A and B are shown apart, each in its own frame.
Chain A
Amino acid sequence: MTRGVLPAGRRRLVTLGLPVLLATGCNSNQAITNPATRPARDINTLWWAMLAGALVVFAVVVALLVIAFVRRGRPGEPSHDDSGPYKVIIGGGLAAPMVVLAILFGFVIHVMPATSAPPGPTKLTVDVIGHQWFWEVRYPGTSAVTANEIHIPSGTAVDVRATTVDVIHSFWVPRLNRKIDMIPGRANRIELDAPDPGVYRGQCSEFCGVGHAQMSFYVIVQPPAQFRAWLRAQSRPAATPATAAGLLGRHTFLTVGCEDCHVIRGTSAAGRVGPDLTHVGSRRTLAALTIPNTPRTLYDWISNPQAIKPGVRMPGFASLPAAQRHALVAYLESLR
């Protein structure tokens, strides 16, 4: 559905055994094995190294079992041998693991700093706030507020402050960095520093209720100049619609109940339950990536959001005359 907005990510085999499984053109825009930044790359390297080590260990155990199988025999009197091959057991169970674990531990300590939060303030801070079930994004120092799309400049270390207004969620963009939980009463931090412009998919990764599966978002990395222009545009209040349909739509929005739950800056709509819609027309998707943002899907959404995203905290407006719903669509699409 939203294929159009996704960059064709590089595919990488994750396994040795079952490449067939992967053969059907999968998009790896959320794959851990397709890193796009230094921390994600470090984690990926750690993974391949651990996999290699694990296969060696596994092979040793399989070899022992094969030897046992080759030596299998018929039942007889039980042997009275009470001694054990202590050397092998201690060597394999104690000595070898100590060495392997020490190496692994060193590796972990080496990778950790890259994946942790920035030590001090960075040039840009973004507040990401989890809601059941969407992402609110604020850009401190500006009045820009977006939902389900986090824009950041490329080549810049960005400090993401992750919080929540309700239950625990988890902020996770595998290609950019590891995840960090969003916990009530805390502001957890994580650094995003993407060298290349692109669209990176992320998804809530802590079970947060009915809408958990449909709580995704994009991190949109833009060249710095483009990002600055975008931020200026997003900081502006909503424009007055230029068409009659748009004006009817705005009037409808402010009178039938939409305004109780949504903000549109520059109007009297100031509800806090749903996402800020000031520039909703400029977003790529609706309902946290569930559907692409087109007049058609927007119309369906307004009519019956439960059918698209079960559990969503928005009532359906199917009872509004179709003309008013079309006007709402015209208005919202004009908010760019």
Chain B
Amino acid sequence: MAVGTVARERVERLDRIWQERPGFTGWLTTTDHKRIGLLYLVTSLVFFAAGGVEALVMRTQLAEADERVVGPGTYDQLMTMHGITMIFFFVIPLSIGFFGNYLVPLMIGARDMAFPRMNALSYWLYLGSGILLYSGLALGHAPDAGWFNYVPLASRKFSPGTGVDFYALGLILNSISSTAAAANFLVTIGRLRAPGMSLNRMPLFCFAILATSFSLVFALPALTTDLVFLELSRKFGLHFFDVGRGGNPLLWQDLFWIFGHPEVYIIVLPAFGIATSIIPTFTRRRMAAFPLVALAELLVAFIGFGVWVHHMFATGLPEIAMIFFAAASLIIVIPSGIQIFAWCMTMVTGKPEFRTPLLFIVGFILFFVFGGLSGIMLAAIPFDQQVTDTYFVVAHFHYVIWGAAVFPLLGGLYYWFPKVTGRMYNERLGQTTFWLVFIGTNVTFFPMHISGMLGMPRRVWTYPGYLGWGPENFVSTLGAFFLTGGLVLMAVNLVVSRIRGPLAGPNPFGGATLEWATSSPPPPYNFAVIPKVSSPYATWDTDDRKTDPERLERGDFVLEGGHLTPGTTPVDGHMDEILAMPEESPWPVTLAFVATLGTAFVIANHLIFAIAMVALAAVVLVAWHSGEPEAA
């Protein structure tokens, strides 16, 4: 592409303006959404490995009846940490933290998130909460009351150690981080879309992140409240959950599931978004029924709030309440069904090319339908009352979160790998990985349906041989190791390709959305020229892309006077102002450090030091704000 001298000068100026500190300090102080995204990526994958090792130890213990690889105390800690890790430290940070952070600004043609420093803070708080929980494990005080941590088992009386304090306070920190991240997405998606990107031209991935962020913002307060109640009961003896003193243990469950069920959709919605990005690219066809799919994504998040009681069908609630919630749970089938048919019909009416990312999406559809069907069964009250807390449920939710959320994430890792690294992965190894992981996942989790139907309860560290659950468990364990092999192969492929893969160029797959319009990897300012948008398939449609060099030469929408990005109206995407973004800053990481330390002091019962940390945090906040740029 011939670029004139004026254009070259402009690009150099942009490079200078957006340049960040090099090396390690650069990573500590960065506010670039892409680098923060990469931090999320690496961290969440490390946690994935940790959660995976925990799962493998559990599976080894359960491989045969009456085994003694680990005792019940250790098993309970592993089980609890596995659940917490996978949900709070792996799936959400990978999907929202990495995919959301990395892609949303690129897809909407913005130069960063709306609040770049808060974005950094979210990441560092997440890391802090993870380190906190894992130091609990290292000290032998990991929580052991299960990831849903029911009271009174989790009360001080029945869990006297500090394990549950690590759980409660660690997750409060984590949920502050997620709330901030979600608010950031809402504003970013609402206000920073490229000129011309009205809501109906926004990529479906961004709709999914929008729906997810709404869910997070409304669901997390329930969890946070619950955790605060728990910690107040544990530390100061208040009685929210204590029947003897007028409390109610079901309050914990209600609040937990008011958060916990939307949580399931928080986990799968970004995955839906990834599916709707990958499918059009590899079928050379626009998503069928785009508006229906967008609506369905939002509806799923909304209805997700009305179904929490289906986690409590065995608690002896009035039948009429149960029937209402069962009906609500069944209704959610409809938006999900619309999406499934839209994905399938897009493939049927397009010309699909089954490369690795699309293979993972096909796997995802199969898992989602399968897990969804067992989910419908669980909404049938008497059946749920029979199988809840058995391995049938373990099978069901692993099909949903592992098959229907993690599969698209893995597909997404392949799909955006060239964008993020500038290099191609090895396609043959990619497809092999898919088959290993697909078969491994089924071999691991399918037999759990059977052991569940044979009456095997979940969260047991051992079982007697005479009940005949041995073969299912043995196969499950084999599957888990097979699956791990597939994941290791994937890691090897991606790491080697990162170093030696062939160069990819800006758009190796012919992707439709804006991230493919810029170079791979994108420059810190994402786009030299702010794109103008006339369709949700911007790179397929508009000629704007082709005239980029001319616009760069002319200087329209280059915005080279500082960290600038256009602000647009929430619905129509009309540009209404130019926003100045803050630059990199040491304060987010400092504040997160202080907050984590303060939390650690609370856990250790050094309340004085904890209060000192609050004071310190106030000082940090002042410093933070004195460094903010003035609005342009």
Is A126 an interface position by the 8 A CB rule?
no
A61's partner among B352, B369, B458 (CB-CB below 8 A) is B369
B153, A68: Cβ atoms closer than 8 Å: no
Q: Tell whether A93 pairs with B348 under 8 Å between CB atoms, given A1-B466, A104-B380.
A: no
Q: Determine how close the nearest CB of chain A comes to the CB of B461; give it in whole angstroms.
A: 5
Stretch with Cβ within 8 A of A (4 or more), from B70-78, B216-224, B267-275, B526-534: B70-78
Is B63 an interface position by the 8 A CB rule?
no
Stretch with Cβ within 8 A of B (4 or more), from A176-184, A228-236, A319-327: A176-184
Stretch with Cβ within 8 A of A (4 or more), from B40-48, B184-192, B325-333: B325-333
Q: Tell whether A57 pairs with B369 under 8 Å between CB atoms, given A30-B455, A30-B467, A180-B316.
A: yes
Q: Determine how close the nearest CB of chain B comes to the CB of A291; give it in whole angstroms.
A: 10
- Taken together as a complex, chains A and B put the C-alpha atoms of A1 and B467 apart, in Å, by 11
A108, B381: Cβ atoms closer than 8 Å: yes
Stretch with Cβ within 8 A of B (4 or more), from A205-213, A219-227, A270-278, A295-303: A205-213
* Chain A stretch 46-72: residues in CB contact (< 8 A) with chain B: 46-47, 50-51, 54, 57-58, 61-62, 64-65, 67-69, 71-72
Is B146 an interface position by the 8 A CB rule?
yes
B454, A82: Cβ atoms closer than 8 Å: no
**Size category of the binding interface on chain A:** 35 or more
Residue interface bits B451-493, CB-to-A below 8 A is 1, else 0: 0011111111111101111111001000000000000000000
Closest to A73 in B: B351
B380, A92: Cβ atoms closer than 8 Å: no
Is A335 an interface position by the 8 A CB rule?
no
Q: Determine how close the nearest CB of chain B comes to the CB of A299; give it in whole angstroms.
A: 20
- Chain B residues with Cβ below 8 Å from A86 are 288-289, 292
B464, A170: Cβ atoms closer than 8 Å: no
Is B387 an interface position by the 8 A CB rule?
yes
- Chain B residues with Cβ below 8 Å from A54 are 373-374, 376-377
Is B339 an interface position by the 8 A CB rule?
yes
A174's partner among B153, B288, B386 (CB-CB below 8 A) is B386
A179, B314: Cβ atoms closer than 8 Å: yes
B342's partner among A51, A93, A170 (CB-CB below 8 A) is A93
- Chain A residues with Cβ below 8 Å from B342 are 84, 89, 93
A24's partner among B337, B453, B471 (CB-CB below 8 A) is B471
Candidate in A82, A84, A116, A184 with the most chain B CB atoms within 10 angstroms:
A84
A205, B390: Cβ atoms closer than 8 Å: yes
Stretch with Cβ within 8 A of B (4 or more), from A12-20, A139-147, A149-157, A191-199: A12-20
Q: Determine how close the nearest CB of chain B comes to the CB of A135; give it in whole angstroms.
A: 15
Candidate in B373, B381, B386, B467 with the most chain A CB atoms within 10 angstroms:
B386
- Chain B residues with Cβ below 8 Å from A214 are 462
Is B385 an interface position by the 8 A CB rule?
yes
B466's partner among A15, A27, A90 (CB-CB below 8 A) is A27
A211, B323: Cβ atoms closer than 8 Å: no
- Chain B residues with Cβ below 8 Å from A78 are 280, 284-286, 510, 512, 537, 540
Is A168 an interface position by the 8 A CB rule?
yes
Closest to A110 in B: B382
Q: Tell whether A108 pairs with B326 under 8 Å between CB atoms, given A115-B385, A210-B72.
A: yes
- Taken together as a complex, chains A and B put the C-alpha atoms of A75 and B352 apart, in Å, by 8
Q: Determine how close the nearest CB of chain B comes to the CB of A21; give it in whole angstroms.
A: 5
Closest to A206 in B: B389
- Chain A residues with Cβ below 8 Å from B458 are 207
A28's partner among B243, B468, B510 (CB-CB below 8 A) is B468
B376, A68: Cβ atoms closer than 8 Å: no
- Chain B residues with Cβ below 8 Å from A79 are 284-286, 350
B330's partner among A23, A62, A85, A104 (CB-CB below 8 A) is A104
Could you pull out 22 A-B pairs where Cβ atoms are within 8 angstroms? Answer: A26-B469, A29-B455, A32-B386, A32-B453, A33-B454, A68-B344, A68-B348, A78-B286, A89-B292, A89-B342, A90-B292, A105-B326, A111-B382, A167-B152, A180-B316, A183-B315, A185-B244, A205-B457, A206-B389, A212-B459, A213-B459, A213-B461
Given A28-B455, A30-B467, A93-B337, list of 20 further CB < 8 A pairs? A17-B446, A32-B453, A64-B348, A68-B344, A81-B285, A84-B289, A84-B290, A93-B334, A93-B342, A101-B330, A104-B380, A105-B330, A108-B382, A112-B381, A115-B382, A167-B153, A183-B316, A205-B388, A210-B76, A213-B460
Residues of A with Cβ closer than 8 Å to B? 1-3, 6, 14-15, 17-18, 20-33, 39-40, 42-43, 46-47, 50-51, 54, 57-58, 61-62, 64-65, 67-69, 71-79, 81-86, 88-90, 92-94, 96-98, 101, 104-105, 107-109, 111-112, 114-116, 132, 166-168, 170, 172, 174, 178-181, 183-186, 188-189, 201, 203-214, 289, 310-311
